[in-house]
């Protein structure tokens, strides 16, 4: 019996049905969910490390005397990892580092007019917090995706939090990325510690990293407060959209569907094609391959959210993709480079049959922290610019001010801002007294 065998005919749907087909899965939240997160935030704010240690016991069933990881433990982490894993981590780091180093913005220094010099300089955010979740296995890929750009950006104080007991994989990445402040704390309490600061956890200026619904809600609540702390983004369940045509390989498409589906029961995959045979073969392959996978129980649930949609042509596929605005987009076609020209909304795009999404998750070099829930219509994936801020500078000579003074006076007085005009007028009078013109 097939696990999934429905093909949706896009042209047979009315506008409301089309809209509903592209909805994300509903996230079921527990009763008093927001209140529970608020209580955690308040407890950490008021009781600091004591609250964290109690939450470590309550949520992670571990008793710790201190939450900061010692320098020796970080340095010794490499002894507990196999060489093939360390080499894989170093290769991924090299690729991520190379890609993100080339994202650096050049400083801007121009004269907009004679005597008016304008600059833009890029400054690293001084203190950043990296949250690395831990589920059935340590998310070392997330540690790399956060730590590498933070280091390249030049952030002075980098703080990493991950649920206890923190793994040697995460500690090894901290070591090779020169992160010295590592803390064993997870969940909403980790976000609270980074946002408020405790006796041992430094308060940061911006918090990065995905997590469960408690982590996401904690980031949301902190972002709304007046703590001078920001967040990278509000991330939802992972998602993938695939555009396939008659040149696609159903075996490869099925493997991409399954790899995305194992992220979690609320993940979603949408497959678009103008070829019904490709869709049928893909569904068959999904049902063949799933039985060999260790996380098939999660995949079973995730597939309930997935859709296989037949369109009349590839242009319609790109139009649907732009409406859905996926986190990940695979265009599996030998014409991928032509098709991608019509894409305007996506977090990260994978072109051709030899570009599985899993490579981007780990080691190609691009960042896997991406906008979800349709937010790619206005947002981008994580980059070193997220760890930096830009400051503008302007410097005028007497001649430059004199030449632009009348423009500023007219515009400021039109807004009834006479003090603005006066700041120019008094200087112009001084120029006249000094230079006689």
Binding-site residue set for NAD(+):
131, 189, 212
Number of Cβ atoms within 10 Å of the Cβ of 430: 12
Percent helix / strand / coil, the chain, rounded to 5: 50, 15, 35
If you compute the radius of gyration of the chain from its CA atoms, what whole number of angstroms results?
26
Say which residues have a Cβ less than 8 Å from residue 18's Cβ, sequence separation at least 6. 10
Supply the residues annotated as catalytic: 327-328
Q: Give CA–CA dist 253/269, Å, rounded.
A: 11
Helices (H), 182-335: 187-196, 213-224, 250-261, 276-289, 296-303, 314-324
- Provide the annotated binding site for Zn(2+): 260, 263, 361, 420
Length of the chain equals 437
Using DSSP's 3-state secondary structure scheme, residue 324 falls into helix
Q: How far apart are CA 364 and CA 349, in angstroms?
A: 12
Are 229 and 201 a contacting pair, CB within 8 Å? no
What is the rounded distance in angstroms from the CA atom of residue 91 to the CA atom of residue 161? 24
């Amino acid at each position: 019996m097939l696990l999934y065998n429905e093909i949706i005919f896009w042209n047979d749907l009315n506008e409301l049905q089309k809209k509903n087909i592209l909805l994300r899965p509903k996230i079921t939240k527990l009763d008093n969910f927001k209140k529970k997160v608020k209580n955690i935030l308040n407890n950490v704010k008021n009781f600091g490390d004591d609250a964290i240690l109690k939450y470590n016991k309550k949520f992670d069933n571990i008793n710790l005397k201190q939450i900061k990881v010692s320098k020796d433990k970080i340095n010794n982490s490499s002894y507990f990892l196999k060489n093939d894993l360390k080499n894989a981590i170093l290769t991924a780091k090299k690729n991520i580092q190379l890609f993100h180093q080339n994202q650096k913005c050049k400083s801007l220094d121009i004269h907009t007019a004679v005597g008016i010099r304008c600059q833009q300089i890029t400054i690293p955010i001084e203190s950043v917090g990296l949250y690395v979740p831990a589920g059935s296995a340590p998310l070392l890929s997330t540690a790399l995706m956060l730590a590498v750009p933070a280091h390249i950006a030049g952030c002075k104080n980098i703080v990493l939090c991950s649920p206890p007991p923190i793994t040697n994989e995460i500690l090894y990445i901290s070591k090779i990325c020169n992160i010295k402040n590592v803390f064993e704390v997870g969940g909403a309490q980790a976000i609270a510690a980074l946002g408020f600061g405790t006796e041992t956890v430094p308060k940061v200026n911006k918090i990065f990293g995905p997590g469960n619904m408690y982590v996401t809600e904690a980031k949301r609540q902190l972002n709304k407060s007046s703590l001078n702390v920001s967040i990278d983004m509000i991330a939802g369940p992972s998602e993938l959209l695939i555009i396939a045509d008659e040149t696609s390989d159903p075996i490869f498409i099925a493997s991409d569907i399954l790899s995305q589906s194992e992220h979690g029961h609320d993940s979603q995959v949408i497959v678009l094609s103008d070829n019904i045979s490709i869709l049928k073969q893909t569904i068959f392959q999904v049902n063949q391959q799933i039985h060999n996978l260790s996380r098939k129980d999660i995949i079973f649930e995730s597939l309930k959210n997935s859709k296989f949609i037949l369109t009349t042509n590839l242009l319609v596929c790109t139009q649907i993709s732009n409406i859905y605005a996926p986190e990940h987009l695979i265009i599996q076609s030998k014409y991928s480079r032509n098709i991608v020209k019509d894409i305007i909304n996506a977090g990260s795009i994978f072109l051709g049959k030899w570009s599985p999404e899993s490579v981007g998750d780990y080691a190609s070099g691009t960042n896997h922290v991406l906008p979800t829930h349709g937010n790619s219509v206005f947002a981008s994936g994580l980059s070193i610019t997220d760890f930096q801020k830009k400051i503008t500078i302007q410097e005028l000579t007497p001649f430059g001010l004199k030449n632009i003074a009348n423009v500023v006076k007219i515009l400021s007085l039109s807004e009834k801002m006479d003090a603005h005009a006066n700041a120019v007028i008094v200087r112009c009078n001084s120029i006249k007294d000094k230079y006689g013109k």
